[in-house]
Every structure is written in C-alpha cells, then in structure tokens.
Amino acid sequence: MNNLTKRIESAKQKWEVFQKNEEPIIYIGAASCGRAAGAVQLLAQTNRWLKENELTAKVVQVGCIGPCYLEPLVDVQMPGQPRVSYNNVTTKTLPVILGSHVGESVPYTKGAIGHFGKEPFNGIPRFFELPMLKPQVRIVLRNCGLIDPEQIDQYLAVDGYQGFMNALQTSPDDVIGVVRRAGLRGRGGAGFPTYKKWTVCRNAPGNQKYLICNADEGDPGAFMNRSLIESDPHALLEGMLIAGYAIGASHGIVYIRAEYPLAIERLNEAMQQMKDYGLLGEHILDSAFSFDIKVKEGAGAFVCGEETALIGSIEGKRGMPKSRPPFPAISGLFGCPTIINNVETLGTLPNILRNGPDWYNRFGKEGNRGTKTFSLVGKVRRQGLIEVQLGTSLREIIYDIGGGLQKPFKAIQTGGPSGGCLSEEFLDLTVDYESLTAAGSIMGSGGLIVMDEDTCVVDLAKYFLDFTQKESCGKCTPCRVGTRHMVEILTKITHGEGSAEDLLALRTLGDTIKKGALCGLGQTAPNPVLTTLRYFRNEYLEHIKEQRCRAVVCKDLIEYRVIKEKCTGCQSCVKVCPTGAITGPRSEPHNVDKTKCIKCRSCYVTCRFEAIAGDAIVIGSVEKRS
Amino acid sequence: MPETVDAILVKHSRRPENLIPILQDVQKELGYISPESVKDISRYLRISENQIFGVSSFYAQFRFTRPGRHSLRVCLGTACHVRGGATVLDTLENVLGVKCGDTTPDARFDLERVACLGCCALSPVVQIDKRIYSRVAVNKLSELLKFYE
Ligand SMILES: Cc1cc2nc3c(=O)[nH]c(=O)nc-3n(C[C@H](O)[C@H](O)[C@H](O)COP(=O)(O)O)c2cc1C
Ligand code: FES
C-alpha cells in the first residue's frame, strides 16, 4: 500500500502543476463521438498550427464531456486562466480560435460555449451552468472529459482507487453492507439490488468465482457504457476490483462489443497501468486479495447481453440463453458462481465506497437511490450523454436538459427494443424503475430516443420488432415464431394493407410472447408494439383505414411531387437523383417519374437546403383517385 | 495463407472457449473465415468443422466470403433510424447496385448494416473502413464514396 501512497502523492503534485499550467493546454474531445465529428483531423491541424507559429502547448486528448451535439469540442487554457470550451469547431474556425486565444491570449468569445473557472470570465458562461449541464448530477461521469483517460496518475489525483483502498480495509461482508445501505440497483436494465446477488454469490460454495462486466451495450441507439469506458476506464476497473473483492472472485472478465475499438484499447492500456502500480494481479497492494481481468470481445449478437447467453458465448458456444435456476450467482461461467454487472453499476461503486452510503442516499428517491446516465438522442436539440438523479421527470430531461424539439413532440422510447414508446401524457412521469414499468416500458440501460411528428410510430414498432426478430436466438417458439408473425403483420400495415383484426392479433401475439418466452429478449420484445398500440392507436388506424402515414415515412403510402409554381428549374435535384427519376430542362419546372422514384429524400433535402426555391418538392400521401 | 492461421493458433491454448477469439483473430487477419482456416482450427481445437460453423454462423460478426476493398457500414440503430438511416442504406444500395450484405462486382465495397456504432448523438452515421462519418446527408453520399477507390 505504501508504494501506492507515494505514487498518489506524486500524482497529486503533478496534477497541481498541470492545473497551474505554465504553458497553454489545448484539450481535444476525442472519444468516438468527437472523432466521428472530426476530432482526429483537428488534432493534426492543431499540432501543425503550433509548429508553423512556433508556439508550444500541451495538447491533451480527453474523453466525452457529454454534450455530443457540440462536437467537436476544443478547449484552450492559458496560464493562470480558466479553461475555455469552443464548440462545433471546424478546420476553418480552428486557426481563428487558436490564433486569438493561444496566439494573442485573447479568448475568442464569439465561438466559446463555456469556461471551467470559478469566477466570471470575459462574459463567457460557466460550462457547468449551461442549461444542458446545470440540472445534471455527475457522479459516474464525474471525470469524463476532465481528465486524460490514458493517465492513471490523473485518475489517482482525483481520488481514484480511494474507494477500493477503503474496501480493502474492511471485510467483504462490510463492503456488501455498504452497497446494501447505498441502495444501489443494477444499471443494466432490470434494476435488481446489487447487494442481493452479491450475497448469493459470496455464500455460494466453491473457491473459483468470476466477475463479469457486461459491456455488450446491445441497445441500438445507446452509448453510455462506451462513453464511460473511453473517458474514464479506471472508474470501471476500480469498480471491478471492489466487486471482485466483495464476492470473493479471483477472475474478472469484461465482455465488450467489438464495435467499440477505442474503448477496448483504453481498457487494455489502463489495465497495463494497473499492473505497473500493483493494482492488478497477485496480492494487490500487498493484501491477500488477488485478481486479474481479461477483455473478451463480443461477436455481434444482441441476445449475448442476457446473462446466461453471455456466459455461453464466453465459453465458446452459441450465445443461447438457458432457463434459470440455477442462477449464475450459484452456477455460472464453467459452472462456477458468477456475478454479471453492468458497466455503470460497477462504475458507480468507487464513488459509494469513497464517500459512503449516506452520501449516495442523498441522491434519487426512496427505493431508487442515486443517479442514472442516459444517452439522450433523436430529435431533441441538445443531444448527448447525461446523468440525472433517479426520479427526474421526462419533461425535465427533454426540455430543460435537452432543450426541447424543433417540431412538436410526439413520443419518447425508453429501454431500447425491450422498452416502450411513451406519448405526451407521460411527460411528467418520473424516471424510476417502477414508474416506467407501470407505464408499459422499462428503464433499460439508458437509451432515450425522442421523436417528433416526422417519426411514424408504426414504422418504429416494426423497426424494433424486426430487430428483435433478427436477434432472436431461435431456441424458444414464442419468440422465434411469434416475433416473425408480428413483423409480418406490421409490414402489412405499413404497406396500407392491414385490417382492424390485425390490431387484435398483434395484442394477442404480444401478450403470448411476453408470457411464454424463455428469456428477457422475448419477454420484452412486444413492448414497443403494445405501447404504441395503446398510446398511438389512431396512427395504426390511419394506416389501415385511410392508407395514410401522417409522418410521411411509410414508403408505400407516400409520393414525391414537384410544386410547379414554386420550382425555378435550377436542376439541383436532377443532379442528386440516383435513379434519374427527376427530369426537366433548366429554368422550367421539373418532373418526378413516380415509377423510377425510390423515395430516398435526396431531392427533397437538396431543394430545401441547397436550392433557390427551398420548398418546391413535397412529400405527401399518395393521392387517391376517387 | 496457412502460415498466418498457424501463427494465430499458437497464441491461444487448445481450449474450446478460445474458439471465438481465434475466429476473431483469423477474421482480423484474413478479412473473413476461409474454409481452409476452419479446417486448421478444427484440427487445433479438436472440435468438428460443423461445430465451428454452428458457432460462427450464430454471430453477426463473422463472414465466410472474401471481403471487398472497403467496408461500408450503415448504422441502423434506433437513433440513426429516426434520423433517416434506412434511407441512407436504400440510397447506397441503389447507387452501388447491390443489396445490403453483398460486395460490389468490382469488389470495391462491402455494403453492410450495423446495429449501432455508439455515435448516436451525431446520427445518421456511416462507417467506411475505420473512419466514422457523422450527420451524413443522403444527397452527399456519392461524393463521399469518391474518396474510396
Ligand atoms: C436480451 C437482453 C439484452 C441485454 N443486454 C444488456 C446489455 O447490453 N448490457 C447490460 O448491462 N445488460 C444487458 N441485459 C441485462 C443483463 O442480462 C443483466 O441483467 C445485467 O447485465 C446485470 O447487471 P446489473 O445487475 O449491474 O444491472 C440484457 C438482458 C437481455 C434479456
Ligand atoms: S444508432 Fe447509429 S450510432 Fe447509435
């Protein structure tokens, strides 16, 4: 332990020097989202710019701070001044920002979104006072975007591994007691009390036990776990040490999706640093506790997020769920007692062990303690990764944090393919495990997808069922056959060929699958259909009775038209049409050949944003001759 | 290229749970799971080729045909779906003249779909080789493809 204490001391000193910053620091948000928005190019450009201008600065790649819609983010901190964040930086604006702020020491206030200082600074708002950030409570995400994820010293400097050291000073049973009093529930979806399964595993006979971190993040449209691992990998790894110690495991495995290469790289690097610091391996910090961690890449199967399927996959088999009991906590990986916890559950542990259960109890509400991270995406203005106390209302999340929508709100999907689609009347629902379940949805792992009037809920229900049907492992009949039937019916309806009986059939099938399926995949698969049937019945009926899709999404029910009076004949749309469906000489109204049109929206987008007319092309319901 | 498969095999012990990591390494190296590699793996792990096909066909990640020069993956996660991912795929199918899951006749692109790339806030998203393009516009796709020959 002594060795680490020394290292922490020197890490803290290093951090202080770093914070005082004698030379300029340039931070580039380079998690996957930042990179997708162009951070890699900006990084290279920054280095070139410094060289050309013969200036020096520390260039640091940080993780994701949350407001992904502002990506790419580049921050500048001059000696003795607060760090200033610039948003939506492009290769054109970057030299302007650097020239002003680094070159002349004058913050480029026009492009700045926020600063991280305590005092007012040049009229720039404080970053954490921004409307998107202010209502948030950042516990799991506390370091994201603020420290360099590749440096264990920075993690140590902000009290990293303190929680684990506290745990080591007490008995495993005490650690379980702390987690019980904190009221922590699993963040992977079901919200099962973490201490309960730990207790079962701890008391299970056997001297070989496993801890598995579920980083499969199967919900398509959610990225909380990716972001945490990329931005603060040690938080997860420290959580694994704590959990491993509590349940008496000697081996840990991170089961992570192969689609997350950067997260995998960060984990491997972080684990190497832990080994160098004596935090992984035999007799960690000279205690009796030995623990190793391996990373296993998933191979692209949603069902492998389910515990028993995940175990099968690690054993080298097809990822098929098994009926339970026996529960993995008694007999899991290779028949040994095994605990599977989600990334966020584990990432929360260091904070609980560092600050105590009473502190954690201050957040959230009775029965739903603490915070939850969400990926807030879809049609909200401010998209990104957020963390709020459990018990926050959907309205606060969508409007206060997310900044509302451009068009009127239609629906929000929580819980991914296993969850439900809630309508406007649920906006004041508080986000907690029980309320969401009562509404027919689930908390899930944290995907929140906001939709406006341009989303067709029937198409959305079909999308989800198509997803679960393809991902169904095929072991049990209700799921394998039932979901296929549901997709067929939904397809019929979106083609305008449905009947009123189909709605009844969907209900019956949905209820049957929920009751009869073997695992959580099937048991929750009908939720998107059942909730949309309940809350958006009219839209189904419009498709059936009027062959009308009000969101103009269902391709068989819509057509593209040129408004002759508005078309200036600029030919912009002609150039982008991939099938040559649009024709017409310059300066004369164009024509859409409906037999060739594939309804790809290219012309529509072009006309709206890049042509003179702006709204000469419309998408509307197929006009019926009556 | 039997040498490369051998080189991969020796890095793993002969235990059945190493099947998936071996398949992943083979695919990383060759770009796909070739029939010969399956024979080598079968001999090494002492499990039947049928079993190997059984496991590998279960997972979306593995492919059994030689890949094209560039992988072109369209995200069809929920966030991307809500922001027009399906339209992006339709358009690419049309522009390239192949269906999702196929390789173009000139072997230039493999057109595939993916469940989510974790960049949902920047949707719709397309990945070409290792680079992820965010907020793609359908009318700009052809220009984007020009960078890849
Ligand atoms: C089909 C299916 C997919 C799942 N996908 C995930 C996932 O991607 N990540 C996750 O943590 N849990 C997932 N779960 C839940 C896990 O099975 C498990 O309950 C969870 O990892 C337990 O961790 P926790 O107690 O920390 O929540 C899934 C469950 C099912 C049925
Ligand atoms: S839904 Fe496309 S990146 Fe997540």
Amino acid at A175: V
Contacts of A328 (CB under 8 A, 6+ apart): A307, A308, A311, A337, A338, A339, A340
Nearest to A302 among B84, B115, B137 (CB): B115
Amino acid at A161: Y
Residue A520 Cβ inside 6 Å of ligand 1? The answer reads yes
**Hey, whose CA ends up nearest to atom 5 of ligand 1?**
A305
- Asked if the model's pLDDT at residue A3 lies above 90, the reply is no
Question: What ipTM was predicted for this assembly?
Answer: 0.95
User: In this structure, is residue B63 part of a structural domain?
Assistant: no
User: In this structure, is residue B10 part of a structural domain?
Assistant: yes
Atom of ligand 1 nearest to the CA of A306: 17
- Cβ–Cβ contact B100 with A under 8 A: no
Structure tokens, B145: 């493809």
Nearest to B117 among A68, A259, A464 (CB): A259
- Cβ–Cβ contact A455 with B under 8 A: yes
Identify which of A384, A477, A387 has the alpha carbon closest to the alpha carbon of residue A113: A384
Output the pLDDT for position A21: 76
Output the pLDDT for position A624: 67
Q: Which ligand is nearest to the CA of B120?
A: 2
Radius of gyration over alpha carbons of chain A, in Å?
27
The CATH topology of domain A370-452 is Ubiquitin-like (UB roll) (3.10.20)
* CATH code: domain of residue B74: 3.40.30.10
Q: Model confidence over A428-460: pLDDT tens digits?
A: 999 999 999 999 999 999 999 999 999 999 999
**CA–CA dist A338, A1 (Å, integer):** 28
Task: Tell me the percentage of chain A whose pLDDT exceeds 70.
Answer: 99
- What strand order describes the sheet that includes A74-77? A58-62, A25-29, A74-77, A84-86, A112-115
Across A410-417, average pLDDT: 97
Q: What angle do CA B134, B136, B140 make, to 5 degrees?
A: 140
**CA–CA dist A557, A320 (Å, integer):** 39
User: In this structure, is residue B94 part of a structural domain?
Assistant: yes
Note whether B140 and B82 are same-domain residues.
yes
Domain that includes residue B125, residue range: 70-145
- Cβ–Cβ contact A612 with B under 8 A: no
Contacts of B29 (CB under 8 A, 6+ apart): B4, B5, B8
Output the pLDDT for position A20: 79
Structure tokens, A34: 């930042």
**pTM for this prediction:** 0.96
Total tally of structural domains belonging to chain B: 2
User: In this structure, is residue B90 part of a structural domain?
Assistant: yes
Q: Which ligand is nearest to the CA of A187?
A: 1
User: In this structure, is residue B93 part of a structural domain?
Assistant: yes
Owner of token pair 């070139």: A48
- Asked if the model's pLDDT at residue A523 lies above 70, the reply is yes
Radius of gyration over alpha carbons of chain B, in Å?
18
Tell me if B78 and A416 make a contact (CB, 8 A cut-off).
Answer: yes
Q: Model confidence over A70-83: pLDDT tens digits?
A: 999 999 999 989 99
Task: Tell me the percentage of chain B whose pLDDT exceeds 90.
Answer: 94
Output the pLDDT for position A625: 52
**CA–CA dist A306, A401 (Å, integer):** 31
Identify which of A501, A451, A484 has the alpha carbon closest to the alpha carbon of residue A493: A501
Output the pLDDT for position A382: 97
Q: Model confidence over A305-354: pLDDT tens digits?
A: 999 999 999 999 999 999 989 999 999 999 999 999 999 999 999 999 99
- Cβ–Cβ contact B129 with A under 8 A: no
The CATH topology of domain A457-546 is de novo design (two linked rop proteins) (1.20.1440)
Across A284-290, average pLDDT: 96
| Residue B119 DSSP symbol | -
Note whether B77 and B20 are same-domain residues.
no
Note whether B106 and B51 are same-domain residues.
no
Q: In terms of CATH architecture, what is A161-358?
A: 3-Layer(aba) Sandwich (3.40)
Structure tokens, A293: 């961690």
**Class for domain A15-129, per CATH?**
alpha beta
Which sequence spans correspond to the domains of chain A? 15-129, 161-358, 370-452, 457-546, 555-623
H/E stretch holding A61? strand A58-62
Residues with CB under 6 A from ligand 2: A 220-221; B 75, 77-80, 116-120, 123, 125
> Among A80-89, A131-140, A332-341, A584-593, which is the least confidently predicted range?
A584-593
Contact residues on chain B for A296, CB-CB shorter than 8 A: 20-21
> Among A340-344, A479-483, A571-575, B104-108, which is the least confidently predicted range?
A571-575
Amino acid at B47: I
Same fold, A370-452 and A457-546: no
- Cβ–Cβ contact A579 with B under 8 A: yes
Rounded to 5 degrees, φ, ψ at A169 are -75, -15
Output the pLDDT for position A71: 95
Question: What separation in angstroms does the CA of A499 have from each of A507, A535, A536, B63?
Answer: 14, 19, 16, 40
Q: Find out whether B142 and B126 touch, Cβ atoms under 8 Å.
A: no
Across A125-149, average pLDDT: 97
Note whether B51 and B101 are same-domain residues.
no
Domain A555-623 has CATH 3.90.950.10: no
Residue A442 Cβ inside 6 Å of ligand 1? The answer reads no
Quick one: three-class SS letters along chain B?
CHHHHHHHHCCCCCCHHHHHHHHHHHHHHHCCCCHHHHHHHHHHHCCCHHHHHHHHHHCCCCCCCCCCCEEEEEECCHHHHHCCHHHHHHHHHHHHCCCCCCECCCCCEEEEEECCCCCHHHCCCEEECCEEECCCCHHHHHHHHCCCC
Nearest to B91 among A447, A467, A578 (CB): A578
CA torsion sign, A186 to A191 to A192 to A193? positive
Output the pLDDT for position A328: 97
Q: How many CB atoms lie within 10 A of CB A163?
A: 25
Q: Which of residues 26-45 of B touch A (CB under 8 A)?
A: none
Output the pLDDT for position A1: 56
Burial of B14 (0-12, 13-18, 19+ CB in 10 A): exposed
In the beta sheet, which residues pair with residue A411? A451
- Which chain B residue is nearest to residue A603, measuring alpha carbons? B139
H/E stretch holding A234? helix A233-247
Q: Which ligand is nearest to the CA of B114?
A: 2
Across A204-231, average pLDDT: 96
CA of A340 to the centre of ligand 1 (A): 8
Q: Find out whether A585 and A562 touch, Cβ atoms under 8 Å.
A: no
User: In this structure, is residue B64 part of a structural domain?
Assistant: no
Structure tokens, A287: 């205690």
Identify which of A127, A142, A118, A135 has the alpha carbon closest to the alpha carbon of residue A355: A142
Segments of chain B with pLDDT less than 70: 1-3
Q: Find out whether B36 and B5 touch, Cβ atoms under 8 Å.
A: yes
The alpha carbon torsion through A83, A89, A90, A93 (nearest 10 deg) reads: -60
Classified as helix, coil or strand, A468 is helix
Output the pLDDT for position A611: 84
Q: Find out whether A273 and A233 touch, Cβ atoms under 8 Å.
A: no
Beta strands in A289-430 (DSSP E): 292-297, 338-342, 364-365, 368-369, 371-378, 384-389, 409-414, 420-422
Q: Ligand 1, from A214, A242, A343: best to mutate by most atoms within 8 Å of Cβ? A: A214
Note whether B54 and B77 are same-domain residues.
no
H/E stretch holding B4? helix B2-9
Quick one: three-class SS letters along A67-88?
CHHHCCCEEEECCCCCCEEECC
Across A591-610, average pLDDT: 91
Mean pLDDT of chain A: 95
Structure tokens, A321: 């769920």
Classified as helix, coil or strand, A393 is strand
Tell me if A383 and B121 make a contact (CB, 8 A cut-off).
Answer: yes
In the beta sheet, which residues pair with residue A60? A27
Contact residues on chain A for B73, CB-CB shorter than 8 A: none
Q: Model confidence over B119-138: pLDDT tens digits?
A: 999 999 999 999 999 999 99
Tell me if B78 and A319 make a contact (CB, 8 A cut-off).
Answer: no
**A194-203 helix and A172-182 helix, angle to the nearest 10 degrees:** 160
Residue A67 Cβ inside 6 Å of ligand 1? The answer reads no
H/E stretch holding B131? strand B131-133
Note whether B47 and B74 are same-domain residues.
no
- Asked if the model's pLDDT at residue A236 lies above 90, the reply is yes
**CA–CA dist B119, B79 (Å, integer):** 9
